[in-house]
Amino acid sequence: MRKFLVRHNKQSGFTLIELMISLALGLVIASAVIQVMVSNQVTEKLNRAVASTQESGRFIINRLRSEMLMVGLYDQLSPNINTSVDIVDENVFVRNNPVILPGTFAVRNALGSIQGASGANDTLVVSLQGSQDCRGYNLGYLNDDEFYVVNEYFVSDNRLRCRGFDGRYLRGQKAAEGHNSHNAITILDDVESFQVTYGVTSMAATNGSAIPTRFVTADGIQNEIDNGKLIVAIRIAIVVKGDSEISMDKKASFKLLNENSFTVSDFGLYKSFETTITLRNMKNFVRSSA
């Protein structure tokens, strides 16, 4: 009989040491991948927070600037001005009261610009001729009518809010109409601080150039007026918080205008914004009177 030779092929596998090395390398790679994913997630949250604070800051500064530029405006020759009251007298009143102080109006005696105590938020109240208040309401007038508008800006529950008034109602010249319920609307959320100072000058100062000689807080305005000064600029500083749930290493601190430094209450991302707005209508009034 022919003998058949059977060949046995040798099969080789991974040794225990090789398996342990492979597992270790796999864990290192997996850990690195997870770390990158976590880092990307944190970076994304940070970027969202930065973007939201920048967007909020730019929005509110641009809005306040555009509205403050009109403070003190009164044009008796405007073809749209509502003439149901003495507009000559109203012109004088607006020129003398571009920034409203408490006690100006008997019908709403507490309404006015206020300096917040011990670093608290300020309140800003301004007046101008316009066809709408800061909420976009025409307060019972025709759509094209221009009238005396008083706008109030203040912070409540970390929200910057505004409400508008018909100045003729406040002066007791007519009844409240339209949206004169005076409900406030929110114009910006997540506001940590809102501070305002006022640039003043005199008719004789700087040869009629109307450059502010100093900035004062709301509680110092009346003294400046009593000494022949006029408000020609408004300086606004605001601190806003990013809307992303990001935690910083330490709480942020800020120094706004005349206020002492303060530290925010949590570890969120905050940013401050500041602008100085020339009241061109008051500036032109000073120049024309020099």
Residue 116 belongs to a domain:
yes
CA distance 43 to 290: 57
Spell out the residues 6+ positions from residue 17 whose beta carbon is closer than 8 angstroms to its own.
none
Domain interval for residue 164: 47-289
CA distance 24 to 27: 5
Q: Which amino acid, residue 248?
A: M
> Residue 288: which H helix or E strand, with range?
helix 280-289
Residue 20 belongs to a domain:
no
State the pLDDT at residue 153. Answer: 98
pTM: 0.83
In terms of average pLDDT, the best of 220-224, 239-243, 247-251 is: 220-224
Indicate whether 208 pLDDT > 60. Answer: no
pLDDT range class, residue 1, cuts 50, 70, 90: very low
Residue 30 belongs to a domain:
no
Spell out the residues 6+ positions from residue 217 whose beta carbon is closer than 8 angstroms to its own.
115, 122, 196, 197, 198, 258
CA distance 272 to 197: 16
Residue 220 belongs to a domain:
yes
pLDDT range class, residue 9, cuts 50, 70, 90: low
State the pLDDT at residue 37. Answer: 61
> How many structural domains does the chain have?
1
Chain segment 17-40, per-residue pLDDT in tens: 767 777 777 777 777 777 666 555
Is 60 or 31 the better-scoring residue by pLDDT? Answer: 60
**Cβ neighbours, 10 Å, residue 29:** 10
Q: In the predicted model, what is the mean pLDDT of residues 200-208?
A: 66
Q: Cα 82 to the chain's mean position, in Å? A: 31
Residue 201 belongs to a domain:
yes
Residue 38 belongs to a domain:
no
Chain segment 130-140, per-residue pLDDT in tens: 999 999 999 99
Residue 18 belongs to a domain:
no
> Residue 195: which H helix or E strand, with range?
strand 191-202
Q: In the predicted model, what is the mean pLDDT of residues 77-92?
A: 95
Residue 118 belongs to a domain:
yes
Mean pLDDT (the chain, rounded): 85
